[in-house]
Amino acid sequence: MVPDQQWIVEANQAERSEIRDELRQIGRMMWEDLDPLNSRFWVCRDGVRRIAWVGLEMDGAKALLRSLYTAPQHRKLGIGRRLVQTAEDQAAALGANEVYLFSTGAGGFFQSLGYVEVPVSEAVAALRHTPQVLWYLARPDLLSAEVTFCKVVGPNRPLQPTRAAPSNGQWEPAGSGPRG
């Protein structure tokens, strides 16, 4: 359960610059390609402190989710999942059909949220105008070590069942079962 004093807001340009600096200090996370002018970030605050964030870069009807990070002492509280959902909602609202991401270390986390691994070449083709992919294209050795994932978030999103199908495969007529 996330405490009530935590909320998610969009970062302004000054805060995107701060996040870039923090990513550099954290290490093992990409920061060099982060352009505070051409990216959007949503941050989770605990009171006044910034404790987590996620970035989004758009390329037409494709979106890149990037730089997801939760401060270690705030992990496993559902903040990362909420930020991914925020980025997906924003991407869909901005006209994206698919959200892609690069992740060598947190693939299992994203797979648990419906992302599927796709060839790096697919992600690069989809996002070829984003700062992160342009940065990688100049460094093919780093790109070849990457792992990429994708999730459909737009109008082509697969329908999810709202309840489990009965074991005999037959749905009961509406109103025949318990309500509430």
Q: Pick from 109, 117, 134, 157 the residue near ligand COA by CB under 6 A.
A: 109
From candidates 4, 48, 73, 76, binder to ligand COA by CB under 6 A:
76
In angstroms, give the least distance from the CB of 36 to ligand COA. 18
3-state SS assignment for residue 149: strand
Which is nearer to ligand COA, 119 or 177 (by Cβ)? 119
Residue the block writes with tokens 């790096």: 120
- How many Cβ atoms are within 10 Å of 79's Cβ, its own excluded? 23
**Residue 69 sits in the site that holds ligand COA (CB under 6 A):** yes
Q: Does 123 bind ligand COA (CB under 6 A)?
A: no
Q: Quick one: which of 77, 118, 134, 152 contacts ligand COA (CB under 6 A)?
A: 77
d(CA 36, CA 125): 23
Does residue 79 touch ligand COA according to CB under 6 A? yes
Residue range at the interface with ligand COA (CB under 6 A); choices 15-23, 72-80, 130-138, 167-175: 72-80
Question: CA-to-CA distance for 134 and 179, rounded, in angstroms?
Answer: 53
> Of 123, 103, 104, 106, which is closest to residue 62 (Cα–Cα)?
123
Which one, of 18, 101, 28, 21, lies nearest residue 59 by Cα?
101
User: Residue 102 Cβ, how far from ligand COA at the closest point, in Å?
Assistant: 7
Instruction: Answer for the pair 124, 180: CB distance below 8 angstroms, yes or no.
Output: no
> What is residue 78's DSSP assignment?
S
Q: Which residue in 101, 126, 133, 153 binds ligand COA (CB under 6 A)?
A: 101
Q: Are 16 and 9 in contact (CB under 8 A)?
A: no
Is 78 a binding residue for ligand COA by CB under 6 A? The answer is yes
Among 24, 75, 129, 139, binds ligand COA (CB under 6 A): 75
Residue ranges that bind ligand COA, judged by CB under 6 A: 68-70, 75-81, 101, 103, 105-106, 108-109
